[in-house]
């Protein structure tokens, strides 16, 4: 073990001392078959925004920028022709910010200051005891930036496909700002007859995606920051339910899955994103953010259904702390 003390309520070590997958370990062949059994009509929904949406939201995350390299003769590798054949060819590259748009958070995205050695000194620690200094190589490191553990390639290699279930918080509560705790969660599960099973992906539609699309790459934070439901990470019963449920991931059309308040930090010993703390740091539950969910959520509601097959691999991009995704739900 790379820790003497694990955080209270964590599952560190339960999937092995070197585990980097967390709850994705529960995504077994049986769970993929359970997802496939939900396919009745073969209708598919693409759950990604165009990757140049939502537009500027977080300063350090910028829209994708395409570029074209030069050929040996200095001409751009675009609309290339040759005297020796009839083909016309284009090539391009891209500067891609991994968390700008529809994305997965890897388990390397967020850790905590935590005394894993039990020596009274809190270090920067990530899921299963991986350390900032040893495993999360920053830009100053000769090999950095690079997550030497917990990078998104681990999830990508796990075959991200299984049974998904939708909670339609927009249908339940509208689009006013709402911190959804355990009671609201249970009301929604009961009202929408959602059967959440161990090994499921939990998707939650709050209405953020439609607002983002309507803003045409010029997002208005004064509207979006108070739009719709976010999970209430300060509700211990909600956190306990997430632990008990055995879900492998939580995905939403909003920015962070959980409700948060950057203007009121909770103090040095507490997480400002407690649901991220529980999911990414303690339990190894991946979070999907800024997904495009309204078409699927509307269809499921109209057909009195809530479950589907979800296929949602991230890029197999070694060392990355997040990844764009183009998830597909099949109903």
Question: Which residues sit at the interface with ligand UVW, rule CB under 6 A?
Answer: 58, 99, 105, 255-256, 260, 276, 289
Give the pairing type, strands 85-89 and 146-147.
unpaired
Residue 93 β-bridge partners: 67
Q: Which of 106, 306 has the CB closer to ligand UVW?
A: 106
What is the 8-class DSSP label of residue 329?
Answer: E
In terms of Cβ atoms closer than 10 Å to its own Cβ (0-12, 13-18, 19+), residue 269 is exposed
Q: Which two tokens stand for residue 270?
A: 């507490």
Q: Which of 35, 319 has the CB closer to ligand UVW?
A: 319
Give ∠ CA 232-99-200 in degrees, rounded to 5: 55
Distance CA 106, CA 319 (A): 10
Contacts 24+ apart (CB under 8 A), 132-136: 135/108, 136/108, 136/111
Question: What is the smallest separation between the CB atom of 100 and ligand UVW, expressed in angstroms?
Answer: 10
Question: What is the smallest separation between the CB atom of 279 and ligand UVW, expressed in angstroms?
Answer: 10
Does residue 252 have a cis bond before it (omega within 30 degrees)? no
Question: What is the smallest separation between the CB atom of 61 and ligand UVW, expressed in angstroms?
Answer: 8
Residue 250 β-bridge partners: 202, 287
Distance CA 160, CA 312 (A): 5
Question: What is the smallest separation between the CB atom of 271 and ligand UVW, expressed in angstroms?
Answer: 12
Q: Which of 285, 309 has the CB closer to ligand UVW?
A: 285
Question: What is the smallest separation between the CB atom of 290 and ligand UVW, expressed in angstroms?
Answer: 8
Does residue 226 have a cis bond before it (omega within 30 degrees)? no
Q: Which of 163, 282 has the CB closer to ligand UVW?
A: 282
Question: What is the smallest separation between the CB atom of 97 and ligand UVW, expressed in angstroms?
Answer: 11
Q: Which of 166, 255 has the CB closer to ligand UVW?
A: 255
Q: Which of 159, 265 has the CB closer to ligand UVW?
A: 265
């Amino acid at each position: 073990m790379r820790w003497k003390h694990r955080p209270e309520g964590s599952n560190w070590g339960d999937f092995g001392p070197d585990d980097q997958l967390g709850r994705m370990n529960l995504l077994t062949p049986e769970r993929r078959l359970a997802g496939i059994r939900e396919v009745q009509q073969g209708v598919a929904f693409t759950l990604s925004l165009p990757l140049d949406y939502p537009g500027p939201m977080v300063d350090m995350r910028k829209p994708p920028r395409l570029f074209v390299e030069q050929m040996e003769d200095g001409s751009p590798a675009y609309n290339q022709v040759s005297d020796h054949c009839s083909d016309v060819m284009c090539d391009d590259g891209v500067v891609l910010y991994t968390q700008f748009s529809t994305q997965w958070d890897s388990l390397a995205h967020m850790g905590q200051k935590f005394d894993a050695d039990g020596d009274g000194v809190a270090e920067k620690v990530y899921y299963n005891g991986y350390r900032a200094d040893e495993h999360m190589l920053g830009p100053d490191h000769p090999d950095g930036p690079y997550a030497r553990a917990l990078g998104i390639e681990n999830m990508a290699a796990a075959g991200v496909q299984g049974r998904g279930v939708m909670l339609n918080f927009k249908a339940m509560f509208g689009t006013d700002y709402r911190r959804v705790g355990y009671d609201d969660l249970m009301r929604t599960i009961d009202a929408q007859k959602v059967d959440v099973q161990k090994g499921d992906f939990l998707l939650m539609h709050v209405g953020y995606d439609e607002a983002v699309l309507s803003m045409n790459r010029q997002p208005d934070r004064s509207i979006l920051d108070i739009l719709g439901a976010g999970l209430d990470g300060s509700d211990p019963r909600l956190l306990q339910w997430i632990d008990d449920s055995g879900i492998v991931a939580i995905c939403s059309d909003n920015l962070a899955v959980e409700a948060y308040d950057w203007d009121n930090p909770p103090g040095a010993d507490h997480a400002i994103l407690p649901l991220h703390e529980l999911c990414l740091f303690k339990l190894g539950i991946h979070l999907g953010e800024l997904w495009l969910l309204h078409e699927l959520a509307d269809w499921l509601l109209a057909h009195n259904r809530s479950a589907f097959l979800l296929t949602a691999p991230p890029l197999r991009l070694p060392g990355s702390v997040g990844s764009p995704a183009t998830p597909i739900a099949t109903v």
